[in-house]
Amino acid sequence: MTSSSTAFLTDHYELTMLASALRDGTADRPCVFELFARRLPTGRRYGVVAGTGRFLDSLAGFRFGEEELAKLEASDVVDRATLDWLADYRFSGDIVGYPEGELYFPGSPVMTVSASFGEGVLLETLALSILNHDSAVASVAARMSSAANGRRLIEMGSRRTHEEAAVASARCAYLAGFTSTSNLEAGRRYGIPTAGTCAHAFTLLHDSEEDAFRAQIDALGVQTTLLVDTYDISRGIETAIRVAGPKLGAIRIDSGDLGVLARQAREQLDALGARETKIVVSGDLDEYAIAALRAEPVDAYGVGTSLVTGSGAPTAGMVYKLVEVDGRPVAKRSSHKESRGGRKAALRRYKATGTALEEVVYRADGPGPERHDHDRELQIPLVRAGQVVPGLPTLDDGRQRLRQALVSVPWEGLALSGGEPVIPTVFA
Amino acid sequence: MTSSSTAFLTDHYELTMLASALRDGTADRPCVFELFARRLPTGRRYGVVAGTGRFLDSLAGFRFGEEELAKLEASDVVDRATLDWLADYRFSGDIVGYPEGELYFPGSPVMTVSASFGEGVLLETLALSILNHDSAVASVAARMSSAANGRRLIEMGSRRTHEEAAVASARCAYLAGFTSTSNLEAGRRYGIPTAGTCAHAFTLLHDSEEDAFRAQIDALGVQTTLLVDTYDISRGIETAIRVAGPKLGAIRIDSGDLGVLARQAREQLDALGARETKIVVSGDLDEYAIAALRAEPVDAYGVGTSLVTGSGAPTAGMVYKLVEVDGRPVAKRSSHKESRGGRKAALRRYKATGTALEEVVYRADGPGPERHDHDRELQIPLVRAGQVVPGLPTLDDGRQRLRQALVSVPWEGLALSGGEPVIPTVFA
């Protein structure tokens, strides 16, 4: 179904712009493109960078092979000279950017591509697709992690999003602190722990709930998670412990007033001697529902729809703008969109206590702002002369980075209520 | 990056349920699974079925090859007996369902899978991923098509969604009446016409707007679309016509008050003799903005973010439920979710004038409701004994089907304002 080339995961106009620029000789002009968000989704206090790793993977496959060239020729998208140029295309420029798991704010230069116009413009759509999707999911996943306050989070949203977006979403959830995913491909592709409980269908398949529980225990052992709400929850729990014994790993409740039910379930389990049996809850949980269950005896949350759809913010709204041509800053002159030309870098300024103070975005070709003791530069080299820099941070590094970054956020930034970005962006 | 097998695009628990069912002999029980939506997204008057074609394509690749089996074994997801069963797995059941482009309503049996439990349960996640994503996008695309009222719609949302979801979204948009897409892969994979205009970067690359326009005209001819709002729109239009002459294909305006600007642009173009030059508008358009521009001299809309994110309803919320085991109906007994056991079929009842009256969902194993003159059965055979039925409707057939279906909707159903499903679902 999918070609091994990622080069067609782009917009038609990237290629026609290239064709036009090749024709008048401007395609070779050295350019700088900047990927950033003008603003955060309404009410959000921070964003989380995600997708950089996937983008760098896909860059390797961004090649126009015979199949792609034949299709472009047949559909008359570009001329012969452009086809020849594309046949030889290998990205040879430089890319720097925020590592995955880093926070971003309005105007943060999340990724900066330095290359000829032709080489750089071709990457626009693919870079934005990946960063916009992944950062949207990671940003809400981080809010959920904060809300869960150390309790386990299981990503189970695959069925509510495109089948490949599901794999990427699982990756973003893990980056942002989720414990595991239900998605097997994410397990294979990214080494994320996979987990599963059971569906109502399995109980309904059997002549009785007891038969179903017995079958599951026989196959998977008592450490499994039994779904107890197909018929009557308290009878379900009673049956579960009768079949599995008090060493049952967990029960899952997928419907009803989860707070009340979790409390009742805990009491019942304790009374049955199953004090170590965990309680997993699921069912349209978002970050607010997760937080609302903090006071209840819930051990793990299964989260689906609201995670993979960004809980109201399904895309990060990042843009990819040409900011420099031949060393001179350029910017669209527009009435309502703030645009700043020139290649930029960024640092985050902290208090001595480690709390973030502000995001300082500055022109990369100048001396930049006066440095303070607790400044931290935010961009790292990702690609040099077309080669991915060796030893880049791994997914687990990103997970660690985000955990630390969230500790540094002023406390009001971790509140789920809407507000302004928790630190201001200062353009120096 | 992606394996040719689609078998891992599923949830861990589908496999552990299979393992448990194989162990106690219930995996072979003949079952019926039903894919349906309990409700439409809030305020929506109808849904559009999409993704069936993609699901049937992916079914062919749903195989556990050596790579998949090795990974399952290494990560200890299932036992040896299950691995052996999976190695031989070929779906051998029957599937019927609503064809793509058909409308659906709460409870419509959009897809019905008849197979052993083991064979049917494995398809749950993949079927839902595809149908939920694609139907969400097609449903909003249909609203946009209605709002555009015959004007051209160009899909250009790739950069705002996962790179593979972008390809599927372009397909859904085309199904729902969009004229073309910017996504090259959608052009290649599904034969959808691709189109492109130009980005601000191309103008900024050049020493002047005039240089940029000249380069584009030289490369692409005067039938191209020039983006005129990088600096000053009226000067941009003046330059565009000076460079291209009055035969210029189109101009695009991507920012500002599009209604006012389109009117001014039309007057200016007409005054310059460019009466045939079209006006394309873009920039965060949703179905409401499209409708609001109906009175303005707009020839085509470029639509991105709101399309690929479902304009507030990013997933269709369909579920895949076991409704029959060994010929007897089964259903979860739950307090707040309506579940109806038994294999169902559906017909749509029309007035003699061709206006839809109601969706009649009935038990497929009974005589069904009394038939009226203008009833139309809604499910068609999709897979028989594991083989995709030959001659299924094409994407263009679906496009035609939806166009006709929207004509049959009671007029209030095409209003964009929120409300109940435009026809009731009657369970006979």
Same domain, A353 and A238: no
Residue B3 pLDDT greater than 70, yes or no: no
Same domain, B251 and B282: yes
Position A202 in a domain: yes
Q: If you measure CA to CA, which chain B residue comes closest to A283?
A: B337
Residue A144 pLDDT greater than 80, yes or no: yes
pLDDT of residue B336: 57
- Cα A75 to Cα A69, A290, B188, B194, distances in angstroms: 10, 51, 9, 9
Q: If you measure CA to CA, which chain B residue comes closest to A206?
A: B26
A201:B33 CB<8 A: yes
Query: Which residues span the domain enclosing A173?
Result: 149-309
Nearest CA to A1 out of B54, B204, B323 is that of B54
Position B187 in a domain: no
B182:A132 CB<8 A: no
Question: Rounded to an integer, what is the distance from CA A371 to the centroid of its chain?
Answer: 31
Same domain, A346 and A240: no
Nearest by CB to A159, from B125, B164, B231: name it.
Answer: B125
pLDDT of residue A4: 80
Confidence of residue B2 (pLDDT cuts 50, 70, 90): very low
Same domain, A290 and A373: no
Same domain, A164 and A292: yes
Work out the minimum CA distance from B126 to partner chain A, whole angstroms: 7
Q: Which tokens hold the place of B407?
A: 């004509």
CB < 8 Å to A182, chain B: 11-13, 125
CB < 8 Å to A22, chain B: 219
Same domain, B18 and B133: yes
pLDDT tens for each residue of A256-273: 999 999 999 999 999 999
Position B374 in a domain: yes
Q: If you measure CA to CA, which chain B residue comes closest to A121?
A: B201
pLDDT of residue A390: 97
Residue B356: left (phi > 0), alpha (psi -120 to 50), or beta? Answer: beta
Strands B111-116 and B30-37: antiparallel
Position A236 in a domain: yes
* Average of per-residue pLDDT across B401-423: 95
* Average of per-residue pLDDT across A3-16: 92
Position B4 in a domain: no
pLDDT tens for each residue of A282-316: 999 999 999 999 999 999 999 999 999 999 999 99
pLDDT tens for each residue of B237-296: 999 999 999 999 999 999 999 999 999 999 999 999 999 999 999 999 999 999 999 999
Work out the minimum CA distance from B161 to partner chain A, whole angstroms: 5
pTM above 0.90, yes or no: yes
Size of interface A-B (CB pairs under 8 A): 344
Whole-angstrom distance between the N-terminal and C-terminal Cα of chain B?
A: 48
At residue B222, what are phi and psi to the nearest 5 degrees?
-75, -10
Alpha-carbon distance of B261 to B248, in angstroms, equals: 18
pLDDT of residue A335: 56
Nearest CA to B96 out of B40, B33, B50 is that of B33
Residue A49 pLDDT greater than 60, yes or no: yes
Q: How many CB atoms lie within 10 A of CB B207?
A: 10
pLDDT tens for each residue of A51-93: 999 999 999 999 999 999 999 999 999 999 999 999 999 999 9
B349, β-bridge pairs: B358, B375
A229:B334 CB<8 A: yes
Contact A337, A38 (CB under 8 A): yes
Same domain, A131 and A154: no
Q: How many CA within 13 A on the CB side of residue A118?
A: 21
A309:B314 CB<8 A: yes
Q: Which residues contact residue B391 at a Cβ distance below 8 angstroms, ignoring those fewer than 6 apart?
A: none
CB < 8 Å to B29, chain A: 205
B255:A124 CB<8 A: no
Q: If you measure CA to CA, which chain A residue comes closest to B71?
A: A188
Same domain, B267 and B332: no
Confidence of residue A1 (pLDDT cuts 50, 70, 90): very low
Question: Which pairs from A365-374 meet CB under 8 Å and 24+ separation?
Answer: A365/A327, A368/A428, A369/A428, A371/A347, A374/A349, A374/A350
Same domain, A82 and A211: no
**The residue to which tokens 């089996």 are assigned:** B69
| A322 vs B339, higher pLDDT | A322
Same domain, A230 and A185: yes
Residue A336 pLDDT greater than 80, yes or no: no
pLDDT tens for each residue of B210-243: 999 999 999 999 999 999 999 999 999 999 999 9
B321, β-bridge pairs: B34
| Domain termination residue (choose one: A292, A309, A326) | A309
What would the 3-class secondary structure string for chain A be? CCCCCCCCCCEHHHHHHHHHHHHCCHHHCEEEEEEEECCCCCCCCCEECCCHHHHHHHHHCCCCCHHHHHHHHHCCCCCHHHHHHHHCCCCCCEEEECCCCCEECCCCCCEEEEEEHHHHHCCHHHHHHHHHHHHHHHHHHHHHHHHHCCCEEEECCHHHCCHHHHHHHHHHHHHCCCCEECEHHHHHHHCCCECCCCCHHHHHHCCCHHHHHHHHHHHHCCCCEEECCCCCHHHHHHHHHHHHCCCCCEEEECCCCHHHHHHHHHHHHHHCCCCCCEEEEECCCCHHHHHHCCCCCCCEEEECHHHHCHHHCCCCCEEEEEEEECCEECCCCCCCCCCCCCCEEEEEEECCCCCEEEEEEEECCCCCCCCCCCEEECCEEEEECCEECCCCCCHHHHHHHHHHHHHHCCHHHHCCCCCCCCCCEEEC
Q: Which of B205, B223, B319 to mutate to test the interface with A (most CBs of A within 10 A)?
A: B205
Confidence of residue B334 (pLDDT cuts 50, 70, 90): low
**The residue to which tokens 């052009």 are assigned:** B187
Confidence of residue A3 (pLDDT cuts 50, 70, 90): low
Domain count of the fold of chain A: 2
| Domain termination residue (choose one: A280, A309, A338) | A309
Work out the minimum CA distance from B34 to partner chain A, whole angstroms: 11
Q: Which residues contact residue A148 at a Cβ distance below 8 angstroms, ignoring those fewer than 6 apart?
A: A177, A290, A301
A201:B17 CB<8 A: yes
Contact A64, A86 (CB under 8 A): yes
Weakest-pLDDT range from A2-6, A353-357, B6-10: A2-6
| Domain termination residue (choose one: A284, A309, A334) | A309
pLDDT of residue B63: 96
CB < 8 Å to A74, chain B: none
- Dihedral sign for Cα B189, B192, B198, B201, please: negative
Alpha-carbon distance of A295 to A312, in angstroms, equals: 25
Confidence of residue A338 (pLDDT cuts 50, 70, 90): low
What would the 3-class secondary structure string for chain B be? CCCCCCCCCCEHHHHHHHHHHHHCCHHHCEEEEEEEECCCCCCCCCEECCCHHHHHHHHHCCCCCHHHHHHHHHCCCCCHHHHHHHHCCCCCCEEEECCCCCEECCCCCCEEEEEEHHHHHCCHHHHHHHHHHHHHHHHHHHHHHHHHCCCEEEECCHHHCCHHHHHHHHHHHHHCCCCEECEHHHHHHHCCCECCCCCHHHHHHCCCHHHHHHHHHHHHCCCCEEECCCCCHHHHHHHHHHHHCCCCCEEEECCCCHHHHHHHHHHHHHHCCCCCCEEEEECCCCHHHHHHCCCCCCCEEEECHHHHCHHHCCCCCEEEEEEEECCEECCCCCCCCCCCCCCEEEEEEECCCCCEEEEEEEECCCCCCCCCCCEEECCEEEEECCEECCCCCCHHHHHHHHHHHHHHCCHHHHCCCCCCCCCCEEEC
Residue A50 pLDDT greater than 70, yes or no: yes
* Average of per-residue pLDDT across B395-412: 96
Position B256 in a domain: yes
Q: Which tokens hold the place of B265?
A: 């642009």
CB < 8 Å to B211, chain A: 24
**Mean pLDDT in chain A?**
96
CB < 8 Å to A219, chain B: 16, 19-20, 22-24, 79
Give the rounded percent of residues in chain A with a pLDDT score beyond 70: 98
At residue B145, what are phi and psi to the nearest 5 degrees?
-60, -45
**The residue to which tokens 């699982």 are assigned:** A170
Alpha-carbon distance of B101 to B135, in angstroms, equals: 9
CB < 8 Å to B321, chain A: 200-201
CATH number, domain with residue B274: 3.20.20.70
pLDDT of residue B237: 98
Contact A135, A319 (CB under 8 A): no
B11:A200 CB<8 A: no
A8:B184 CB<8 A: yes
Position A142 in a domain: no
CATH number, domain with residue A89: 3.20.140.10
- Cα B262 to Cα B149, B238, B259, B295, distances in angstroms: 17, 14, 5, 10
Nearest CA to B169 out of B53, B311, B309 is that of B309
Alpha-carbon distance of B332 to A252, in angstroms, equals: 15
Q: How many CB atoms lie within 10 A of CB A393?
A: 17
Position B154 in a domain: no
Nearest CA to A41 out of A121, A127, A112, A142 is that of A142
pLDDT tens for each residue of A90-114: 999 999 999 999 999 999 999 999 9
Residue A2 pLDDT greater than 50, yes or no: no
Q: How many CB atoms lie within 10 A of CB A427?
A: 14
Same domain, A280 and A397: no
Confidence of residue A208 (pLDDT cuts 50, 70, 90): very high
Residue B187 pLDDT greater than 90, yes or no: yes
Same domain, A24 and A109: yes
Alpha-carbon distance of A111 to A105, in angstroms, equals: 13
A263, β-bridge pairs: none
Residue A339 pLDDT greater than 80, yes or no: no
Alpha-carbon distance of A303 to A314, in angstroms, equals: 16
Give the rounded percent of residues in chain B with a pLDDT score beyond 70: 98
